Structure 1
């Protein structure tokens, strides 16, 4: 472990709890009011000055939006937000493996609830143009048969400030949540959400976040079903239950970081091919195992429109965004010679 990354010497939970203070301090000392521009992208009237942002789960309650903007994020995903406040799952909920560059968590959608998150986003959007994605999920006490009601309630709540909605049914940390993506349940879950969205006459893009543990048939079913209901894009992927590279982590909860890289790339390639066959234009966001600047550019070359990071920040810190920006500028200069 490098002395330049002192937080890695701390227990993972303590480092996690202190990280917001580190982020805020870093953004003031090293950040900038100007968002770095590289490989800009636009989609559905949204303008991204660069293609790199944070994934859902990093800033669950939208507490640090200004800091993320100052360190160089091209877009920010907040949440997962639940309608009512709820605490994390009991017991140990996170750990890390520095050598494997892996993070394990079973947080389970801890959230301050929709009202608090709405206030934080509205305050930020009053002066900033950085796109904000709102990742939405159900409260753990809500039965799957009624899950669509939680998602619809959140869409109504954030309808005037969310730049994009991300429907999250792929976290392994809320019991039974992934069952909503099964062939038996998916249409019954997604159809009323889409109808509610249309009834509100919303124009923001609607995204779905997928699990990396779906088999080919399962992924194809979810992708085609989502496109049938007018979804605009996909986030590939959430954390994995696979312990091939991290057998020492508990079987419950999800693993992210470098061990997720192969699954994430496979999901991206598969989704790209399925969408091409459907002859539709959708926005693809790749996340999982993006640990270096070269990884960011690799995902873009493979067809990702946008890229997100989570575990990278645990090991590299918030300076990662400016590091990628500098490399993007150098690559652009080299290509122009």
Structure 2
């Protein structure tokens, strides 16, 4: 079915296509029996798929990465496609429009996307409000990906992460600290050991004062050097956060074959060009840390084989986004079936 409608969506501007699809899904979901139909087609249920990671029980290891549902608008709808977990965001304390449009581009020959969205979202309070009134998340674990506003200076960034942590604490199952997007000026500077330790230690201290500890993870860039990855292992160990998400989008343009005018667009690349590098980062972290913390693998997963490769490299869970766009909603069930096989 998706192969029939994909050319229509791919004829649109990528951001417009996203809103068309999600808006259409919302409308379709209002039809009696539609959610049950989607669930029957796309959901694979089997106890062998269950995973317990950082104290949470996932019904399967396949998640929807942050960026698809920035404002917690589509959790009930996307849950019907069989995801074991859905990560909302990135959310910031204050609403912000993000970067100027156009800000997302398809590199079809490379099965990739370039995006420079810039943390466009309606703010942490709006996301929290939607999560508070969520009626049925269908056993899906919810993650909250948090970032800083563009206008917030790096020396004050910790306050933005604190705000988002407090706003979402009651409504998400785990947190992700995003300091690795290439689309907010200066954000990646927060990946340096000093500022990153400060942010994570501060959140962990707040976490300890809450009724229950919520897992806090760190999302990292694929462009880090081995010595920087060594620092990440040390930081995770010292701050005792729950784990790492590897990886965000890349600023590299190596090996791309698409139209040079598109390739030179500013932003982060996701999709198949990231498959190899993200797996390398997962394997390096798992080996260097002796698998002492869980890793969520994301980047270039377009098939069950890609997912299994990441799990074999040391990931405990995986996430999809660009692969979901290129391959369609059957990707989740295909991965689950591949794992069962």
Indicate yes or no: 2:6 matched with 1:19.
no
Q: Which residue of 2 aligns with 1:285?
A: 296
Q: 1:70 to 1:10 in 2, by over 3 A?
A: same
Aligned Cα root-mean-square deviation (Å): 2.2
> Following TM superposition, by how much is the alpha carbon of 1:201 offset from its aligned partner in structure 2, in angstroms?
5.0
Whether the 8 Å contact between 1:159 and 1:202 is mirrored in structure 2 is no
Q: Which residue of 2 aligns with 1:259?
A: 273
- In 1, Cα distance between equivalents of 2:155 and 2:208: 21
Tell me, what secondary structure is at the counterpart of 1:207? strand
TM-score w.r.t. the length of structure 2 is 0.89
TM-score w.r.t. the length of structure 1 is 0.90
Indicate yes or no: 2:216 matched with 1:214.
no
Tell me, what secondary structure is at the counterpart of 1:58? coil
Whether the 8 Å contact between 2:193 and 2:235 is mirrored in structure 1 is no
Q: Which residue of 1 aligns with 2:53?
A: 43
Indicate yes or no: 2:133 matched with 1:129.
no
- In 2, Cα distance between equivalents of 1:111 and 1:131: 21
Indicate yes or no: 2:39 matched with 1:32.
yes
Q: Which residue of 2 aligns with 1:173?
A: 183
* Runs (5+) with no aligned partner, structure 2: none
Q: How many residues align?
A: 327
Whether the 8 Å contact between 1:183 and 1:221 is mirrored in structure 2 is yes
- In 2, Cα distance between equivalents of 1:127 and 1:58: 16
Q: After the TM superposition, which residues 1-337 of structure 1 pair with which residues of structure 2 at under 5 Å, given as runs? A: 2-6=3-7, 7-24=9-26, 25=28, 28=35, 30-32=37-39, 36-37=45-46, 38-124=48-134, 128-200=138-210, 202-246=212-256, 248-250=262-264, 252-276=266-290, 280=292, 282-329=293-340, 331=341
Whether the 8 Å contact between 2:49 and 2:336 is mirrored in structure 1 is no
> Following TM superposition, by how much is the alpha carbon of 1:162 offset from its aligned partner in structure 2, in angstroms?
1.3
Tell me, what secondary structure is at the counterpart of 1:209? strand
Whether the 8 Å contact between 2:44 and 2:337 is mirrored in structure 1 is no
178-187 or 44-53: which moved more? Answer: 178-187
Deviations 1:296-318 (A, max 9, x none): 12212222110100101221222
- In 1, Cα distance between equivalents of 2:162 and 2:66: 19
- In 2, Cα distance between equivalents of 1:22 and 1:71: 15
Whether the 8 Å contact between 1:186 and 1:222 is mirrored in structure 2 is no
Tell me, what secondary structure is at the counterpart of 2:255? coil
28-37 or 87-96: which moved more? Answer: 28-37
